[in-house]
A and B are shown apart, each in its own frame.
Chain A
Amino acid sequence: MWRFVARRLLHALPVLLGTTFLIYTLVFVLPGDPIQGLAGDKPVPPAVLAELHARYHLDDPLWTQYAHYLAGLLTGDLGTTFTGRDVSDLLADRWAVTLQLGLTAWVLELVLGMALGVWAGLRKGKWDDSAVLFGTTLIISVPVFVVGYLAQLVFGVRLGWLPVAGTEGGWPLAFLLPGLVLASFGLAYVARLTRSSLIENLRADYVRTAHSKGLSRRRVVVKHTLRNSLIPVVTFLGLELGGLMAGAIVTEYIFNLPGVGQQLFQSIQLREGPVVVGTTTALVLVFLLANLLVDLLYGLLDPRIRHD
């Protein structure tokens, strides 16, 4: 198994290199001068412009700029923003927020989504199954910002149960509501996926065998059906781990959380190459690790795809 992990980590290197280069190029070809953009409408003295251009290598060709960036990256230096802050410091703060938000949402998806799915699957065709199906369809079809504002209004303003916005309450209080909003789509999807996978597996031959052995229904479901049903759910949840971090922009905006998404949006507007590339690279890294985790979990769930 360790050989498999090592091989996968090696594979990750070219992917990381490729993505950083791609993002770097995209920022490079954006029109307009970033220094001028920083100053807005006010004219920038030519001497200052030249000095800043030289410091940030802005006049060098793409290859040279990228090489500078990579060299820095290897020594652990992610560069500085135009305002002089270390990108790594900036990202650390932002990532702390996004990680708390993303993981809260992920755990909600995992626990609530699977629980709802199993419940509905076992009660197929009954009223509560229909209720779950209806509810999840509704959540999937409503855009996240509508869910977000609605949740703020109901739980934050009217009921006053949870903070409306900001990180003041700290984890978990301040992250429960945004976490739930961020998780809503995935949660509904996990519930539906678990439900259909469970129903399909309950019809499998080996489940009939389990019944023929005289096992209780509980044992048939828990031991002989659930594990087999979770394989597609694990795939989705693994990808969600990355997706939730990257997809948190809207939620971070609604709940005013200073996370990576907000940062990324601002940096793109300001054309701050190092920040955009650094943020994206970190996101790619999260995705790659999540994928690796999924593959390892597969082997745990299904011996037929064990990596040895």
Chain B
Amino acid sequence: MSADTPPLLEVDDLCVEFRTRRGTIRAVNGLSYTLHEGETLALLGESGSGKSVAAQAVMGLLDTPPAHITRGSVRLRGEDLLSMPPEHRRAARGTRVSMIFQDALTALNPVLTVGDQLSEMFRVHRGEGRKAALARAVALMDRVRIPAAARRVHDYPHQFSGGMRQRVMIAMALALDPEVVIADEPTTALDVTVQAQIMRLLKQLQDETRMGLLLITHDLGVVAQAADRITVMYAGRTVESAGAEDLYTRPGHPYTRGLLDSVPRLDRMGKPLVPINGAPPLPSSVPTGCAFHPRCPRAEPRCGREAPPYHTLSTAGHRSACHFAEEVHRAPVG
């Protein structure tokens, strides 16, 4: 890719706050990431870290009020989505950027057949007739490997198993070959074997279409299999971003390191798991300075005062927002 081609999706310093009667809640507080064509970027964070809100801000699904995007930009191939007229924005949803939701049981409409919900994409955006659109729905279901698609297209979501339902959800998101697919915890509601199937399916579909996949998850296991690059979020902010391999072997932020130490790994068999003390902060009361400092084993007084800038670390594209990024990065894992 030449240097002057804008990246597929570029989110820069995104800030989202919810203004409610009980005060303002800063859910996303300076999130930045870049997603390239054919790439899988994992957005990793604990629940409450603002990752779903960030995804919905990119999709334009947040209701204003109470949500307000106060700063930052979201550029799709250089075009700022946030300043687009609403009608253009709507036309881009589902066609250029689409989303896979976590729980397909509640995310699919219970009173409409899956064929109806799938073919709607072609009828609304492509102006196709009922019959042609339904045939396309069947083809889509085939593509996500739902058996007996021609028969099942007339079934309702509750008649499908969890894994099959999630396949329908994926089919819907991929219907119009979008450039960017945002998958918000796509496998969290599924059991482990089905999780693996769904992740494999996403990977295969990505190879076919060259779509950029933004994978939002809290699950390090899912990330390790699927992601090319990883952006770690804490309290609404990007704290570290790196290539997947790089991040797993040489984390540059104490929070990332804490996450890695707290899950069982084959290469660390026999060593005790170390939890991160405390709980993530409420978005209504994010600590000053580095938001992680009250839980950080390395914290020094200045961490509570100064918000750390991004440090670029040795390897390409590895950035960390920690005053001690270099030292953390140098220290061996495990």
Contacts and interface: CB of A to CB of B under 8 A. Distances in A.
Please say whether chains A and B are actual partners in one complex: yes
Interface stretch (B13-21, B88-96, B223-231, B269-277): B88-96
A228 B111 contact: yes
A213 B93 contact: yes
B124 A206 contact: no
B110 interface: yes
A83 interface: no
Given A219-B124, A303-B156, A304-B158, A212 B108 contact: no
A142 interface: no
Interface string B100-124: 0101001111111100000011001
Interface of B: 56, 59, 61, 90-95, 98-99, 101, 103, 106-113, 120-121, 124-125, 156, 158, 172
Q: How large is the interface on A (under 10, 10 to 19, 20 to 34, 35 or more residues)?
A: 20 to 34
Interface in A203-238: 204-206, 208-216, 219, 223-224, 227-228
Contacts of B109: 206, 209-210, 224, 228
Contacts, number: 69
A115 interface: no
A229 to B, nearest CB: 10
Nearest to A212: B99
A213 B120 contact: yes
A275 B83 CA distance: 74
By secondary structure, the A interface counts as: helix
Which 10 pairs of residues, A with B, have the shortest CB-CB distance? A214-B93, A214-B94, A205-B106, A206-B109, A213-B94, A303-B156, A212-B99, A205-B107, A209-B107, A304-B158
A224 B157 CA distance: 14
A227 B110 CA distance: 10
Contact of A206 (B99, B110, B156): B110
B157 to A, nearest CB: 9
A221 to B, nearest CB: 13
20 contacts: A205-B103, A205-B106, A205-B107, A206-B109, A206-B110, A208-B61, A209-B107, A209-B172, A211-B93, A212-B99, A212-B101, A213-B98, A213-B120, A213-B172, A214-B94, A214-B95, A215-B94, A224-B112, A228-B109, A302-B111
